[in-house]
Amino acid sequence: MTRGGRTRTRRIGGTAAAGLVGLWLALGCRSDGAPALHTAIDAPEPGEPGADGTKAPPKGGPSDGRELWFVEGPGREAIIARERRDHETARERLDALLAAEPTSADERGAAELLRALEHLEQDEHAAAAERFAKAREAPGLRPIEDWLRRWEAQARLDAGQPEVARTLVDELEAGLRSRSAVAGDLQVIEGDARQRTDDLDGARAAYDAYLSDHPQGDRRFEVQAKLARMLAACEDEGSRREALTLYDRLRESVPLSDYADEAEAAIPGLEKAVGALRSESATRVHERELGVLRVEAMLDRGRYAVAIKEVDRLVGKGKLDAAQRCRLLYVKGSAIFKQRRRADARPSFERAERECAKAGKAFETTQVKSRYQGARGWYAEGKYAKAGAVFESIAAEHGDHSYADDALVLAGESWESHGDPERAARAYHRAIEEHPGDMRHEALRRLLVMRFVAGAYAEVLALVDDALKGSIVHPAERAKLLYFRGRALDRLGRSDEADEAWLEAVATAPLDYPALQALSRLRERGPQPWAQALDRLRGGASVKSRDEASAAQALQRARILARLGLGDEARDELRHAKIDGWPAIAVLNQAGLYPAAQRELANLGARWRAQAPGADNRERWEGAHPRPFAEIIDPGEPEHEVPALLTYAIMQTESRFDPGVTSFAGARGLVQLMPATAKGLAKAAGIRLDGDRALFDPALNLDLGMRYLGRLTARFGGGEAAVALAIPSYNAGAGSVDRWLRERGSWDLDLFIESIPYDETRKYTQSVLGRWWAYRWLYAEGEPEQRVPYLPLTVPSKGADDSDE
């Protein structure tokens, strides 16, 4: 399955707007209607579940471990329904709660707040504003008064009540307002409210304050457009010229946005009134540059077919300079490449390389990238020797460029595919010795596998020992080297030293994939090495994070927002207060906002993983590996013969526990099922699948996913060893794994996994195995030795059920 993600809808693009605007020329200015509206609630993105998704009451209650605002009942059900974008159910539950008279002012306030947000989903701004006002009366919500006023003020604006909106912002205590996580939004609301009440000087001051205080703010282009619109409505030439400048820069910054469209419509009239910003010849040059910017934006937005046609049109018109042709042809090659037509992309990349060379040193990076991608095209054509030679030429001619080490790694891969292992080894050695950068570990990994398969164990040992002398940041990378050190020593007959290397691998990254392999080897050694290995898992000292003394008030506000199910807002609050790491993860997990917690975890680094879970840090390990939807998974895994806790590892890797995720490839839900796969599974199980949106229902998604995992595991004989082949089958398809088994099925299992040719699938397989191992150690039943999965060296054979999925 292809991993995907979902992010908040924000206006993006371009560079900072600091310094765009000059002095305010107030003479003769007038208001010309309301500025564009902005609401706090984003609409679901295409492909995500909406109000027509799952209609059944959502599961979840006090037994799910979540510390929500409501312990049980319709309020709790409404929060969970909102998370799943089942707004119809959320409204029903909230209306039922409010009709039944909540038992406390805080419960009523929370219900009013959530119902107000539901009103916004239906563009019922006046009703939302009234409910936000009622929510502000709740004592328990006072710590988030700035959020409540922000929501209410925006709703008042959108309901045509700018005076009330302005008062709501003005009444907020100045210190709280300046410290607020929504300070920028409040500035924009103030500007809008002042403009709509004809206080144009005040509006200008508020907009200027936003652009000054938030030069990289999410709403900077919106504010620039509002300011340009207001200035364009003024009667004096200076204001209109400033509006023209703003619109001109918006076209450059966000070329495919609504703001750019607005600018295109407004600029001719402004130029007629105050004159053009450029001469006629300079305007033609500028228009050509805008065309290039638009095409680059098309590539960024995935509009590949349109980008290709537009490049052909622009290049065909001529009058472009070498730099513009370089950029355009690189876009065309990239668009074709991203359509998975890698061989077809090569000619465009080669043309781009030639034009970039003409454009000079400033375009060296695009030149190198073009040659690099062209070489990938040769590889896709099966011209491995040609690809290898081109990759090597990049390192030879651009040795100081960041792509040099990448090129040597792919040169090695090309020569391996060509059947020239010695030349491949030379390329990998060069990457290791001449370019000790971010690809050094990958070059070393490939070289170790190649030399180990060739039986050059002494060389493998020397390579590892040399690498271990250097600085290795990630514990898992160091642990993998130690594991292969043990494998080489074992083949050289130095078994005691091999055991020590494997024990050190376990101690270095105790719950990562290399440690699982090392534990499997030590289990094979007998009782004493196995007992020593288990002893290394007893736990160590906690690693302190830099945020242990975070601001209590900000944590309180974040907890309130999180308990209300407002994960994005809670995360904004934490970020604004510069609270990250474990305190943030704890807040988000406590409220069951697991996707937000996982995003925070991804920014935490890997140092904490060097210590096994013990009394003082087990809570952190469990925070990093939570168990959402346990009420579905725990009974489902044995029913579908899925090895215990594997579903959690798949779900964490695929979706970060977000039931609403849609990948770029169209995979949906918690375990990222492709609709076609899901339909086949549902049909076989006699389950009615009511459209693709049904896959956003956690119960259905997980049930089908566990059926699939059970089938894939059984395909390779079942049990723990089969997991090592079921995981890549889940990611790349069983047919791909069958092909690799035909090519390398006689290899040892650890080497087979390291030789998976798809980078994504190889990393995915090791990531899921590592997470599965962590879940097993943290949560599995039984004695310690029973909680450690065993991965043998022998590749599992296909079982009786060998049908391709």
Provide the token pair at 804: 């391709």
Say which CATH superfamily domain 62-252+259-271 falls into: Tetratricopeptide repeat domain (1.25.40.10)
C-beta of residue 102 within 8 angstroms of C-beta of residue 108: yes
* Angle at which helices 440-453 and 403-418 cross, to 10°: 20
Say which range, 264-278, 346-360, 586-600, 703-717, has the weakest mean pLDDT: 586-600
**H helix intervals, 383-474:** 384-397, 403-418, 421-434, 440-453, 457-468
Task: Name the pLDDT band for 673 (thresholds 50, 70, 90).
Answer: very high
The whole-number pLDDT of residue 591 equals 83
Task: Note the pLDDT of residue 83.
Answer: 84
Average pLDDT over the chain reads: 90
Q: How far apart are CA 748 and CA 790, in angstroms?
A: 14
pLDDT digits (tens, 9 = 90+) for 9-39: 322 223 233 333 333 333 334 333 323 322 2
How far is Cα 63 from Cα 306, in angstroms, rounded to an integer?
51
The pLDDT of residue 538: 83
Q: What distance in Å separates the CA atoms of residue 348 and residue 333, rounded to the nearest whole number?
A: 5
- pLDDT value of position 472: 87
Per-residue pLDDT tens digits for 115-126: 999 999 999 999
pLDDT of residue 11: 26
Token pair listed for 94 = 């909230």
Per-residue pLDDT, 799: 67
- Please write the tens of the pLDDT for every residue from 170-180: 999 888 888 99
Q: How far apart are CA 579 and CA 472, in angstroms?
A: 28
* pLDDT for residue 208 is more than 70: yes
pLDDT at 85: 82
First to last CA, the chain: 12
The predicted pLDDT at position 604 comes to 87
If you search the block for the tokens 């001529």, which residue do you land on?
318
Query: Mean pLDDT throughout 302-326?
Result: 97
More confident site: 569 or 57? 569
Q: Which residue has the tokens 């020329």?
A: 25
**Gyration radius of the chain over CA positions:** 30
Q: Is the pLDDT of residue 49 over 70?
A: no
According to the CATH classification, is domain 630-787 in 3.40.640.10? no
pLDDT at 723 over 80: yes
Residue 642, token pair as written in the block: 């899925």
Task: Count the neighbouring beta carbons within 10 Å of the beta carbon of residue 64.
Answer: 16
Q: Pick the range with the lowest mean pLDDT from 188-202, 223-237, 353-367, 787-801.
A: 787-801
pLDDT tens column, 542-599: 555 444 444 688 899 999 999 999 988 998 999 899 888 899 999 999 888 899 899 9
- In this predicted structure, the answer to whether residue 4 has a pLDDT above a threshold of 50 is no
How many C-beta atoms lie closer than 10 Å to residue 617's C-beta? Answer: 19
Asked if residue 6 has pLDDT above 50, the reply is no
**Segments making up each domain of the chain, as ranges:** 62-252+259-271, 552-610, 630-787
Q: Is residue 662's pLDDT more than 60?
A: yes
* pLDDT interval class at 247 (50, 70, 90): very high
Q: Given pLDDT bands bounded at 50, 70 and 90, which one contains residue 540?
A: low
Residue with token string 């604004």: 576
